[in-house]
Amino acid sequence: MDRFDAIRLFTRIVERRSFTQAAQDLGLPRSTVTEAIRQLEARLGVRLLQRTTRVVSPTLDGEAYYHRCLAILADIEDAEAAFGDAQPRGLLRIDVHGTLARHFLLPGLADFLGRYPGLQLHIGEGDRLVDLVREGIDCVIRAGDLQDSSMVARRVAMLAEATCASPAYLARHGVPATPDDLEGHRMVGFVSSATGSVMPLEFQVDGAIRHVSLPTALTVTGSEALFGGALAGLGLIQVPRYHLLPYFADGRLIEVLPAHPPTPTPVSLLYPQNRQLSPRVRVFIDWVARSFAAWADAGIISRSPGPA
């Protein structure tokens, strides 16, 4: 294994905290990985990694070497991309909520991959907080307010939200005219992955935000179950408007309190701030931003007013 491949392997081990997972990522035998690191440490004359039964972590020398290696790898990729018709290539790992991927990314993905045939894309679906470096993920797309300041965030859109319920539910409980009319109503409770608590309903009233918690017969952690609960007549829900359009069109769900909508939900693309962006990540980020801008131009969502 040459020095460049050894450097690439070493950085992946540090990021994945595992010889086995790094070997799987790079398509190498576990024995090859072990021998390559042994030779690298012998050549440098220092111990780079500490190994335990559970995890692999860098030593102080290994941490310093890791950051130098990141800069070297990024410089090499930039240098190669600057000449001729060099194209970004390699595996790009992203994580995004499934509904965002299905509505806003997948429709244009064939064109993106056709433009960059050397890229492979792996999409993980979720809305939990992830350690991008530790889990080998290049970037994530998240909806909602951001709490993690360790990542660079680029806001790409704002999602208008709406409150709705099934016709059967409204026939039983009535149609509220204002948020003050919600006494006696119920909601399908959505449990936040960040707090573990049921999120209250949110309404804009006279320029202020009002939070309302209603009784719940059902709490859920996913959007499919949330919609299922609303369709079954179990309570009010609040979700992005783009997701509700087909339900409004066929009458399965009815919007309520349209004069008091929840605040829009920001959509942001996040990546580690301590890593120089590789060409493959850079072209993906630019494509995502253009894709959401096109949806905003079509009136499906709102354009982001500024940075995250």
CATH code, domain carrying 218: 3.40.190.10
Low-confidence ranges of the chain (pLDDT < 50): none
> Is 65 in the same domain as 112?
no
Tokens for 16? 């994945």
The last residue of a domain, from among 81, 104, 126: 81
**How many of the other CB atoms lie within 10 Å of CB of 171?**
11
Secondary structure of residue 195 in the 3-state scheme: coil
Give the model's pLDDT for residue 68. 85
End-to-end CA distance of the chain: 42
Tokens for 284? 């993906």
The last residue of a domain, from among 22, 57, 81: 81
Q: Which residues contact 58 (CB under 8 A, 6 or more apart)?
A: 14, 48, 49, 50, 65, 66
> Is 73 in the same domain as 105?
no
> Is 98 in the same domain as 124?
yes
Give the model's pLDDT for residue 47. 93
pLDDT tens figures, 164-211: 999 999 999 999 999 999 999 999 999 987 788 999 999 999 989 999
> Is 206 in the same domain as 289?
no
The dihedral built from the CA positions of residue 129, 127, 266 and 223, taken in this order, carries a sign that is negative
Query: How distant, in Å, are the alpha carbons of 41, 172, 274 from that of 58?
Result: 12, 61, 16
> Is 172 in the same domain as 236?
yes
pLDDT tens figures, 106-128: 999 999 999 999 888 988 886 65
Q: What residues make up the domain containing 193?
A: 161-256
308 found inside a domain: no
Domains identified in the chain, total number: 3
Give the model's pLDDT for residue 302. 75
The dihedral built from the CA positions of residue 43, 48, 51 and 54, taken in this order, carries a sign that is negative
**How many of the other CB atoms lie within 10 Å of CB of 181?**
13
54 found inside a domain: yes
